[in-house]
Amino acid sequence: MPLPAPLTIGRYALYDKIASGGMATVYVGRLAGDAGFSRTVAIKRLHPQYAADPDFAAMFIDEARLAARVRHPNVITTLDVVAQGEELFLVMEYVEGESLAQLARLVVATGESIPIDVIASVVCGVLHGLHAAHEAKNEAGVALDIVHRDISPQNVLVGIDGAARVIDFGVAKAIGQIHTTREGQVKGKLAYLAPEQIMGGKLTRQVDVFAAGVMLWELLSGSRLFAGGNEGEVLGRVLHHVIQPPSSFASNVSPALDAVVLRSLERDPATRYPTAEAMATAIEDAVALATPRRVGEWARGVARDRIAQRASLVSEVEQSSSVTLDAQALARTREVATSLDPSQLSMVRESKPRALVIAAFVVLVVAIGALIAVLALRRAPTPVVAQSPPSVSPSLPIAALPSVPIVASASAATNVATNVATNVATNVPVAPPASVSATPSTLASASTTSSARTKVPPVKSATTKPTGSASIYSRE
């Protein structure tokens, strides 16, 4: 069954609902960026009845502003805030997993209990995330003193990657926040409120420590700590109920872990853990934590059907958005193409083949030139500088005489001598002999034979200038 057309809000597409809360509904969405970039996200949509309320709208914006300052693996990442018409949307990272509340309900329905090492690992992750929020600073480096004020299993997401993440800072309060809580208004789930929160006392990070203690007690015991028939009864139990150690309901809880839970639930903040990090350290000292892999496998096993159903939905959304993005890219390409005149289109079509032809021709010319150069170097003879002949005509100055090539036979010497005389008289350059033998014995023999058999006629004019010097060429 094809997905219905998504609601488009800016650069985001809003698809099916995946969760719902008191203030907002969470949808799976897609971010469509430039150059075909896309990403699956979770989009929280404020309920219409609250979006029209300035107080709720301001509180919703505060959530995004505060959460964006908290950077930690155990806190859900806030990516963007979008205002469209009278509606507000909060864009967050999408995490494949399930809420801790839903996981606990599924386990209780089977009559089983959550492994202690898994509980300890999840709660420690939550505490580390809270500590990061408590320590967050603004752009100027000033502490924001963020207090979540609504920690409960509903606001903890356990991913199949084994990480527990704190979500929903919608009721958080911090120094400098835009929205100010109405005087006397109590926010948060009653059963997880700290006594000072109910009594209107000063809210510190220890409020979140108390809520984390309630959550830890319930996960270990498998029951509610401050259960009541109405709000008044719940509040009364928070203020006055005698808290039993969780081992009273679960015998596998160690005394060390009992002590951690009871200290976190101290009604006097002065005797409670001062920070979330201190409580996490105490839990780590009391029990061995499950690895992220074990936590992820546990979450996937408990909520297999729900996680698989949501993964199928995300897959459909991604495929649908991919087709939509491809169609949009094609439409943009056609729009650009239609905006060009025919001559520009011709240039676009022809530019690539023409460039290829030119490149091929250049490569061919370079290759042929390189081949010719190699062949020329192989065939070129190696020049050897010759010395002047042993005797010259006394009637011609030495400077005006050309160098005479040395030959290897008497007849050749005679011919060379005759040619030298004639060429000097007529001012014609002497050409090198066709063949040369370069051994010392043949050179001496040729010189002696030439002197005995050939006489060089005298030169009548001494004004002829040499045109260059001859060289002895040796041919291999």
63-90 b/e (C-beta count within 10 Å ≥ 16 → b): bbbbbebbebebbbbbbbbbeeeebbbb
Q: Which of 204, 228, 226, 201 shows the shortest CA–CA distance to 213?
A: 226
Residue type, 281: T
Query: Taking a C-beta distance cutoff of 8 angstroms, is the pair 156, 103 a contact?
Result: no
Which single residue is written with the structure tokens 């996680």? Answer: 307
Outline where DSSP puts E strands in 247-312: none
Residue type, 303: A
Which of 16, 117, 145, 150 is an active site residue? 150
Distances (CA, A) of 206 to 164, 193, 229: 20, 11, 27
By CB neighbour count within 10 A (0-12 exposed, 13-18 middle, 19+ buried), where does 40 fall?
A: middle
For 61, the 3-state DSSP assignment is helix
For 219, residues 6+ apart whose C-beta sits below 8 A from its C-beta are 100, 104, 114, 119, 122, 123, 153
Which single residue is written with the structure tokens 């015991």? Answer: 221
Task: Write out the H or E segment, with its range, that includes residue 18.
Answer: strand 12-20
Which single residue is written with the structure tokens 């993005």? Answer: 325
For 158, the 3-state DSSP assignment is strand
Quote the CA–CA distance of 266 and 282 in Å, as a whole number: 15
Residue type, 366: V
By CB neighbour count within 10 A (0-12 exposed, 13-18 middle, 19+ buried), where does 461 fall?
A: exposed
Q: Which of 17, 12, 39 shows the shortest CA–CA distance to 28?
A: 17
Q: Tell me whether residue 80 is one of the annotated catalytic residues.
A: no
24-32: strand order across its sheet:
7-9, 12-20, 24-32, 38-46, 87-93, 78-84
Question: For helices 292-302 and 304-338, what crossing angle results, to 10°?
Answer: 100
For 74, residues 6+ apart whose C-beta sits below 8 A from its C-beta are 125, 126, 128, 129, 132, 163, 164, 165, 166
Quote the CA–CA distance of 383 and 469 in Å, as a whole number: 12
Which single residue is written with the structure tokens 């780590």? Answer: 284
The gap between the terminal CA atoms of the chain, to the nearest Å, is 87
Active site residues: 150
